[in-house]
Chains A and B, each alone.
Chain A
Amino acid sequence: MHPVKTIALSVALAATAGLAQADETLDAVKSKGFVQCGVSQGLPGFSNPDDQGNWTGLDVDFCRAMAAAIFNDADAVKYTPLSAKVRFTALTSGEIDVLARNTTWTMSRDADFGEFIGVNYYDGQGFMVPTNLGVSSAVELDGAAVCTNTGTTTELNVADYFRANGLNYTVVAFEKADEVVAAYDAGRCDVYTTDRSGLAAQRTKLSKPDDHVVLPEIISKEPLGPLVRHGDSQWADVGRWTLNCMINAEEAGINMENVSDMATSNDPNIKRILGTDGDLGAKIGLDNAFCANVVAAVGNYGESYDRNVGPETALKLERGVNALWSQGGLLYAAPQR
């Protein structure tokens, strides 16, 4: 399927004339009635379909939040599952409106492919090895075979790390995450490397998850975030403030349950966030109550985190650096005022 898909996307890029000019995406989305959201082909906790085809995850929640902000209907989303390889082509060719696919924000990607609108998960690349290998640190991995995905920053980071530490390695790079997991499970490699959230997610797919250990080293910064096409700052604002709204709501203590009660709050900050005061939403082409709609439909960032990747889920990821800045984390959204 993938060769076909890649070629089809290239041809689409070549053959379509005059799509998506500047400042048109929001109008186009409003007139077609849904957000076309590029997601992964199945990464538990971030974007994963269940057996009925319902998507869940942190990235999926972002797509739903955008739909709630625009239409006040979180279900007005259509998902396009994309491999790491074709994701940017899908965005630049106009096939999708927003790419929320656990994508690392880097300078070259920002320059080449689209505009990152924020970070919805601070991650870092790690290594997982079978426990019986007896390895306690990544610097012991001289001569190991490493399984990873093609077309990812992971592939470049692992090359950098092993070279910088003067270690030999063999890389076995697959296109789909499922193929990497299967090969690692079959013993093709000694090490599986990807973002640590990904390791936690994929570990649940292994035949014996408890026989594997994640090494302590974090070899890279991987700020994962959604991105949109270049040249449409209005659409980028819609995405950026949807994300900021979820983080600000958590900070202000607004959640799914109390959002309707909060509407009567006298706190000027909460009034601005919920749009009962001022016209912040209208300034970016949305309803003034867009943030209230987002929180009512998908909850604040903390609720989304706990529901999808938190300690109560199969991924068991502590908040860590993804806590609010006021609680020792890195999440610091610009104020809505």
Chain B
Amino acid sequence: MANNSNKTALAAPAPSFWRDPDKRAIVYQALVLAFIVWLLYSIINNTATNMESRGLASGFGFLTSSAGFGIISTPFVPYTEDSSYFTVFLVGLVNTIIIAFVGCVLALVLGFVVGISRLSSNWLIKKIATFYIELFRNIPLLLQILFWYSAVLKPLPGPRELHEAGETVYFSINNRGLIFAEPMGQEGFQYVWYAFFAAIVVSWLIRKWAYARQMQTGEQFPNFLVSLGLIVGAPLITYFVMGRPLEFMPAEMSRFALRGGVTIIPEFVALLLALVIYTAAFIAEIVRAGIQSVSHGQTEAASALGIKPTHRMRLVVVPQAMRVIVPPLTSQFLNLTKNSSLATAIAYPDLFSVFAGTTLNQTGQAVEIMAMTLAVYLTLSLLTSAFMNWYNSSIKLVER
């Protein structure tokens, strides 16, 4: 009791409201919040009033009306001219995600190769990498997209120069795209998938076992080769055991073009080439910076311990460099995703082209469509960021 009263006596008298920094901060924050709310309200209110005074309809009802136009490539989403504008939205979304995902993966691989080559001790390789980086990151992307489009399109022959009408074709590259026979799984093909997934699980178990054994005995196990053999071999053996349950449906040459089969359109190839080559030049510089940020002493120490050069890079340098590489790498992935909206220049049906372009023009619902499009790019970017942040924290230096 005595202790308690002693404490109260020692405490300073409570300061007046305005002199208490905590309370003042609350007032300031409330003011800022009120200002932002007012700003949002007036923007929304202004928009609504202006739209009403100009007789512009608002709302999302247009999403259910039928679109009435054709789209060149609609992977995974069944689409006809009778489909709704919402289906158009999905088609655009899928096309955007495909180009962004494939683009990010390939740009990462190419960027790593070029970045490491840039530091190579081989003069020729080093100069080629430098030349590549300086050339491609200094040319505007839109120009590169248009260049690759004509570079892909111009030298290729037309389908009529290659095939006779009525001919069945299993594989063809022409100016309508890369066309190959469509593989159709027959009865029993599902076992090939089962074998594939089983092989992945077994490889993972082997990896765990090999790691534990190496920790205990120091003996190494050829992890990679065994896993590769399993993942490729197991489905292949199953495939032959099941009596090759896969049929290839060839494309057929009509009077003008190939019908059927799977088509990868030249617009996709051109856009992918441009995005990958452009972004990889930036990623290469990020990788180089990351590797150079690892002190040379680390390399020397690894050499002194007798670690072989390939392991030195993979096990000592790169893991430390990753901490520097990942944050700017995230920005490059985000850039690539957003840059994919330049597809509209070469008729690749991405979200910006078919939804924020054609649909906007047919319906005139500018505010709603732009809001939806912005929301999609924002969501994709935030998802990429979230994934990369998770990855970044998982490779953080563990301090002991």
Residue contact B362 to A151, C-beta cutoff 8 Å = yes
**Given A143-B255, A172-B72, A186-B154, do A156 and B47 touch, yes or no (CB 8 Å)?**
no
B396 to chain A, nearest CB (A): 37
- Mark contacts of A1-25 with chain B using CB atoms, 8 A cut-off: 1 yes-contact digit, 0 otherwise: 0110011011001111111010000
Residue contact A175 to B259, C-beta cutoff 8 Å = no
A221 at the interface (CB under 8 A from B): no
B266 at the interface (CB under 8 A from A): yes
**Given A10-B367, A159-B68, A186-B153, do A150 and B54 touch, yes or no (CB 8 Å)?**
no
In angstroms, Cα B175 to Cα A328, docked, is 45
Minimal Cβ-Cβ distance residue in B for A141: B256
Minimal Cβ-Cβ distance residue in B for A156: B68
Additional A-B contact list (12), CB under 8 Å, known A10-B370, A142-B256, A150-B357:
A3-B356, A6-B356, A6-B360, A9-B366, A14-B46, A84-B361, A92-B54, A143-B256, A170-B176, A171-B70, A179-B345, A188-B176
Residue contact B257 to A15, C-beta cutoff 8 Å = no
Which listed residue, A10, A145, A156, A229, touches B362 by the CB 8 Å rule?
Answer: A156
B149 to chain A, nearest CB (A): 8
A144 at the interface (CB under 8 A from B): yes
**Given A143-B254, A175-B357, A188-B153, do A2 and B50 touch, yes or no (CB 8 Å)?**
no
Of the listed residues A141, A173, A179, the one surrounded by the most CB atoms of chain B closer than 10 A to its CB is: A173
- The interface residues of chain A lying within 8 Å CB-to-CB of B228 are none
In angstroms, Cα B45 to Cα A15, docked, is 10
- The interface residues of chain B lying within 8 Å CB-to-CB of A169 are 70
A→B interface (CB under 8 Å) = 2-3, 6-7, 9-10, 13-19, 21, 84-85, 88-89, 92, 112-113, 133, 140-145, 150-152, 155-156, 158-160, 162-163, 168-176, 179, 182-183, 186-188, 190, 229-231
Residue contact A145 to B176, C-beta cutoff 8 Å = yes
Residue contact B358 to A151, C-beta cutoff 8 Å = yes
A318 to chain B, nearest CB (A): 31
Minimal Cβ-Cβ distance residue in A for B165: A143
Which listed residue, A88, A170, A182, touches B364 by the CB 8 Å rule?
Answer: A88
B→A interface (CB under 8 Å) = 43, 46-47, 49-51, 53-57, 68-72, 81, 150, 153-154, 158, 175-176, 254-257, 259, 266-267, 341-342, 344-347, 349, 352-354, 356-358, 360-364, 366-367, 370
Residue contact B257 to A144, C-beta cutoff 8 Å = yes
A17 to chain B, nearest CB (A): 5
B380 to chain A, nearest CB (A): 15
Residue contact B364 to A112, C-beta cutoff 8 Å = yes
- The interface residues of chain A lying within 8 Å CB-to-CB of B49 are 17
**Given A14-B47, A89-B366, A174-B347, do A160 and B361 touch, yes or no (CB 8 Å)?**
no
**Given A89-B366, A172-B72, do A14 and B341 touch, yes or no (CB 8 Å)?**
no
A80 to chain B, nearest CB (A): 17
- The interface residues of chain B lying within 8 Å CB-to-CB of A9 are 366
**Interface majority SS on A: helix, strand, loop or mixed?**
mixed
Minimal Cβ-Cβ distance residue in B for A168: B259
**Interface majority SS on B: helix, strand, loop or mixed?**
helix
- The interface residues of chain A lying within 8 Å CB-to-CB of B257 are 143-145, 170, 190
B74 to chain A, nearest CB (A): 11
Of the listed residues B56, B176, B266, B357, the one surrounded by the most CB atoms of chain A closer than 10 A to its CB is: B357
**Given A13-B47, A14-B367, A143-B255, do A174 and B68 touch, yes or no (CB 8 Å)?**
no
- The interface residues of chain B lying within 8 Å CB-to-CB of A2 are 344
- The interface residues of chain B lying within 8 Å CB-to-CB of A19 are 50
Residue contact A151 to B361, C-beta cutoff 8 Å = yes
- The interface residues of chain B lying within 8 Å CB-to-CB of A179 are 345-347
**Given A92-B56, A140-B255, A174-B346, do A155 and B352 touch, yes or no (CB 8 Å)?**
no
In angstroms, Cα B158 to Cα A190, docked, is 10
- The interface residues of chain A lying within 8 Å CB-to-CB of B255 are 140, 142-144
A225 to chain B, nearest CB (A): 18
In angstroms, Cα B366 to Cα A255, docked, is 43
A-B pairs with beta carbons under 8 Å apart, 13 shown? A3-B352, A7-B370, A13-B51, A14-B46, A14-B47, A19-B50, A141-B256, A143-B257, A155-B69, A158-B70, A159-B70, A173-B347, A175-B344
Of the listed residues A16, A174, A230, the one surrounded by the most CB atoms of chain B closer than 10 A to its CB is: A174
Minimal Cβ-Cβ distance residue in A for B157: A187
Residue contact B72 to A170, C-beta cutoff 8 Å = yes
Minimal Cβ-Cβ distance residue in B for A92: B54
Q: 4 smallest A-B Cβ distances: which pairs?
A: A151-B361, A143-B254, A171-B70, A14-B47
**Given A7-B370, A142-B255, A230-B55, do A14 and B43 touch, yes or no (CB 8 Å)?**
yes
- The interface residues of chain B lying within 8 Å CB-to-CB of A112 are 56-57, 363-364
- The interface residues of chain A lying within 8 Å CB-to-CB of B347 are 172-174, 179, 183
A25 to chain B, nearest CB (A): 13
Minimal Cβ-Cβ distance residue in A for B158: A187
Minimal Cβ-Cβ distance residue in B for A162: B70
- The interface residues of chain B lying within 8 Å CB-to-CB of A187 are 153, 158, 175
B6 to chain A, nearest CB (A): 62
- The interface residues of chain A lying within 8 Å CB-to-CB of B352 are 3
- The interface residues of chain A lying within 8 Å CB-to-CB of B53 are 21
- The interface residues of chain A lying within 8 Å CB-to-CB of B344 are 2-3, 150, 175
